[in-house]
Amino acid sequence: MLLLAHIGHQLIWLLYVVPVLIVSAAIAKSFIAQRRAERED
């Protein structure tokens, strides 16, 4: 339990990365869709 609590404390930064990942993923998806649309045109 102590080990898990320690790992939890160490990995708290992951929770701060989640919004960055969501925004980055949305941008990447939109970028890929835009490129695909340009190719099809």
Kindly list the residues in this chain that would bind other proteins in the complex (CB under 8 A): 12-13, 15-20, 22-24, 26-27, 30-31, 34
Q: Where are the alpha helices (DSSP H) in the chain?
A: 2-10, 13-40
CB-nearer residue toward other proteins: 3 or 20? 20
One-letter amino acid for residue 7 of the chain: I
Question: What DSSP designation does 23 have?
Answer: H
Q: Minimum distance from CB of 25 to other proteins (Å)?
A: 10
The whole-angstrom separation of Cα 26 and Cα 23 is 5
Q: Minimum distance from CB of 10 to other proteins (Å)?
A: 9
Q: Minimum distance from CB of 29 to other proteins (Å)?
A: 11
